[in-house]
Amino acid sequence: MRILVRLASILPRLLLALTLLLAANPVFADEAADRAAIDKLFAQLRVAPDAATAQAIDAQIWTYWTTPSDPILAGRMREVLTARGMGDAAGALRLLDKLIADYPDYAEGWNQRATIYYTLGDFEASIADCEKVLAIEPRHFGALSGRALMYLQLGKRALALKDMAAALAVHPFLNERRLFPELGEPMTQI
């Protein structure tokens, strides 16, 4: 009982010390700033007046997703993107497996692996990774639209339509919209 009383008396000081430590760490501060910037970009994307504006915002979001603030993670992501760019899917998959093991909360690691599985035709693995992406970042229009395309190819139009509608709620000017005429054209802002 005494231990609990003692712990309760020092717990507020420990929490304060932890908060100060996290705030003083530039990586955590950068991550918080990145999250705030991404949130702002998503708000702008949702109301983009035209496709060109949406694509410019889209590019900024992808930059944040693929270049994280953590310098070690950013370096590893560069290796992955380099391997992908060179057509080395097997090498990129090996790098991503390790990256995901070390950074399981990094949505873009899962998304990059989902993309490689998609290009290899392994829709089951890709869809599973898309689910991981969306558990971490529900606004990930790339994972939503990618999964919609796979569902479409698998003959699961209702699931594809659901994912594409969710993707378009985030990014109203996705090119994949044309595959779903029942969703109509994006409305421009007045």
Give the residue carrying structure tokens 């070390």: 102
Residue with tokens 């709620």: 169
Q: Divide the 190 residues of the chain into consecutive groups of 10 and give the mean pLDDT of each group.
A: 50 46 48 92 96 97 96 97 96 98 98 97 98 98 98 97 96 94 67
Measure the CA–CA gap between 151 and 87, rounded to whole angstroms: 25
Diameter of the chain by CA atoms? 68
- The gap between the terminal CA atoms of the chain, to the nearest Å, is 65
For residue 107, what pLDDT is reported?
A: 98
Per-residue pLDDT, 182: 87
Answer yes or no: pTM beyond 0.75: yes
Q: List the one residue out of 81, 72, 42 whose CA is nearest residue 171.
A: 42
Rounded Cα–Cα distance for residues 19 and 41 (Å): 27
Cα separation, 32 vs 10, whole angstroms: 27
For 160, what's the count of Cα atoms within 13 Å in the CB-facing half-sphere?
19
Q: Provide DSSP, 82-100.
A: HHHHTT-HHHHHHHHHHHH
Task: Quickly list DSSP for 46-86.
Answer: HT-SSHHHHHHHHHHHHHHHHS-SSHHHHHHHHHHHHHHHT
- Produce one character per residue of 113-147: b if its CB has 16 or more CB atoms within 10 Å, e if not: bbbbbbeeeebebbbebbebbbebbebbbbbbbbb
